[in-house]
């Protein structure tokens, strides 16, 4: 099939990016902001909660090496999709859970995946599933932040991901 895009939000984008960097078939990742109203938002603006943007990761993957279903599995296991606007100690609308699809096939796969994942939770899943819109790259210092800080980004690496600011 070839190279495709996927976009996910699951809390602080640093750890979400690292988990996808480690996934076989993922060719590239970038962190940024999506699903908001403000044009060209900055990190400082997104952190105010007034832009409507979520911290997200956009990736390119080789659909001959991995499937969208497999990426969704990583997404669901990375965070708690039942908490609105928070992951762990990170609180705010920018930390919401979201799947931003790039095709109707991704849309249908995401809906089915969410339905299946709900069976694993007592509380309702609050993950938004929306068409992918404009993705604004985050500032350079955010890109591959945890990898630059010395954490393993090798394919298949299972080391615990540590977030820090």
pLDDT digits (tens, 9 = 90+) for 83-107: 999 998 899 999 999 999 999 999 9
Tokens found for residue 25: 């078939």
Render pLDDT for 102-154 as a digit per residue (tens, 0 to 9). Answer: 999 999 999 999 999 999 999 999 999 999 999 999 999 999 999 999 999 99
Cβ 102 vs Cβ 5: under 8 Å: yes
Catalytic, out of 12, 47, 152, 157: 12
pLDDT of residue 47: 95
* 3-class SS of residue 135: coil
Cβ 93 vs Cβ 51: under 8 Å: no
pLDDT of residue 133: 97
Q: Please, which pLDDT band fits residue 1 given cuts at 50, 70 and 90?
A: low
Domain ranges of the chain: 3-148
Cβ 139 vs Cβ 43: under 8 Å: yes
Q: Which pTM was predicted?
A: 0.96
Q: Return the percentage of the chain with pLDDT > 70, whole number.
A: 98
Q: Which residue has the higher pLDDT, 51 or 165?
A: 51
**CATH assignment of 3-148?**
3.30.1060.10
b/e sequence 14-27, b meaning 16+ C-beta within 10 Å: bbbbbbbbbbebbe
Q: Under the phi-then-psi rule, with left for phi > 0, alpha for psi from -120 to 50, and beta for the rest, what region is 3?
A: beta
**pLDDT for 22 beyond 80:** yes
Q: Is residue 47 annotated as part of the catalytic site, yes or no?
A: no
pLDDT of residue 165: 53
- Number of C-beta neighbours around residue 67 at 10 A: 15
């Amino acid at each position: 099939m070839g190279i495709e895009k996927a976009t996910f939000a699951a809390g602080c984008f640093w750890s979400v990016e690292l988990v996808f960097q480690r996934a076989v078939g993922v060719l590239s990742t970038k962190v940024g902001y999506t699903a908001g109203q403000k044009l060209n938002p900055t990190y400082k603006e997104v952190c105010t909660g007034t832009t409507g943007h979520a911290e997200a990761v956009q990736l390119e993957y080789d659909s001959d090496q991995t499937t969208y279903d497999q990426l969704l599995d990583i997404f669901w296991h990375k965070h708690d999709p039942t908490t609105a606007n928070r992951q762990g100690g990170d609180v705010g609308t920018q930390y919401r859970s979201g799947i931003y699809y790039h095709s109707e096939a991704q849309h249908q796969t995401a809906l089915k995946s969410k339905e299946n994942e709900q069976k694993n939770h007592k509380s309702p899943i609050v993950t938004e599933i929306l068409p992918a819109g404009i993705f604004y790259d985050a500032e350079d210092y955010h890109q591959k932040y945890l990898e630059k800080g010395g954490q393993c980004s090798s394919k298949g690496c299972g080391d615990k991901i540590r977030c820090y600011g």
